[in-house]
């Protein structure tokens, strides 16, 4: 019987979350089967939130969409990646030729902070200039509060937070892993229980 090739890889979470938790990924025969927190990470120290711990099950779920779907009226028809890319390219080029690049709206938010997201931005910059959103209903509030308070978005060194006597968060909830650092919040609460 063939033995599975199992590897443990040290990596980081790339979701839209300031923590960037250190992860240990268990890979069997090239397939991610488990994610755990990396206890050797100096800040996150083995922590892993529930949504990322459930990621392998979602990644490997038979219900996960892995094929592009082309909408035809009220029906979504599976198509190949080549067909999907050709369709999108033809539509984008037709709109640019007919109405100019500003008629194309490129909208994206977070979800993950992987480098591939930057490639999409570069693509639309080269295609355009296209229309993009201004402001943000998510982190934009926190960005604006920091800039109004301090003139910039600079922050303390994470390891310096533990020496603070108090702290405040403006425009963001401290309970959301998508907008606030779990680990830094926990560290602040432990050291400065009167912080807001």
Which listed residue (24, 146, 174, 177) binds ligand SF4 by CB under 6 A?
Answer: 177
- The nearest distance, CB 23 to ligand SF4, in angstroms, is 7
Contact between 49 and ligand SF4 by CB under 6 A: the answer reads yes
Burial class (CB in 10 A: 0-12, 13-18, 19+), 166: exposed
Count of residues engaged in binding ligand SF4, rule: CB under 6 A: 11
* Nearest C-alpha neighbor of 140 from the set 185, 193, 179, 181: 179
Q: Count other C-beta atoms under 10 Å from residue 44's C-beta.
A: 22
Is position 24 an interface residue for ligand SF4 (rule: CB under 6 A)? no
The 50-89 site mask, x for binding ligand SF4 (CB under 6 A), equals --x-------------------------------------
* 41 forms part of the interface with ligand SF4 (CB under 6 A): no
- Provide the minimum distance between the beta carbon of 168 and ligand SF4 in the complex, in angstroms, as a whole number: 21
> 144 and 136 in contact (C-beta within 8 Å)?
no
Q: Is 168 exposed, middle or buried (0-12, 13-18, 19+ CB in 10 A)?
A: exposed
Within 10 Å of residue 129's Cβ, how many Cβ atoms?
Answer: 13
CB of 35 to ligand SF4, least distance (A): 8
Q: Taking Cα atoms as reference points, which of 55, 56, 87 lies closest to residue 71? A: 87
Q: Of the candidates 21, 24, 130, 161, which one interacts with ligand SF4 according to CB under 6 A?
A: 21
Say whether residue 161 binds ligand SF4 (CB under 6 A).
Answer: no
Binding site for ligand SF4 (CB under 6 A): 13, 15, 17, 19-21, 48-49, 52, 177, 182
């Amino acid at each position: 019987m063939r033995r599975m090739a199992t590897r443990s890889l040290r990596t980081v979470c790339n979701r839209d979350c300031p923590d960037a938790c250190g992860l240990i990924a268990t890979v069997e025969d090239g397939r991610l089967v488990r994610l755990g927190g990396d206890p050797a990470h100096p800040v996150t120290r083995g922590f892993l939130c529930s949504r990322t711990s459930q990621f392998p099950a979602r990644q490997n779920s038979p219900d996960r969409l892995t094929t592009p779907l082309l909408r035809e009226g009220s029906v979504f028809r599976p198509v190949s990646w080549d067909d999907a890319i050709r369709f999108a390219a033809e539509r984008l080029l037709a709109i640019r030729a007919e109405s100019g690049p500003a008629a194309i709206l490129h909208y994206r938010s977070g979800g993950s902070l992987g480098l591939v997201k930057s490639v999409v931005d570069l693509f639309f910059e080269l295609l355009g200039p296209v229309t993009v959103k201004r402001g943000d209903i998510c982190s934009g509030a926190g960005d604006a509060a920091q800039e109004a308070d301090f003139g910039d978005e600079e922050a303390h060194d994470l390891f310096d937070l533990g020496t603070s006597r108090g702290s405040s968060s403006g425009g963001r909830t401290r309970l959301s892993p998508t907008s606030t650092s779990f680990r830094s919040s926990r560290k602040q609460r432990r050291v400065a229980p009167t912080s807001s």
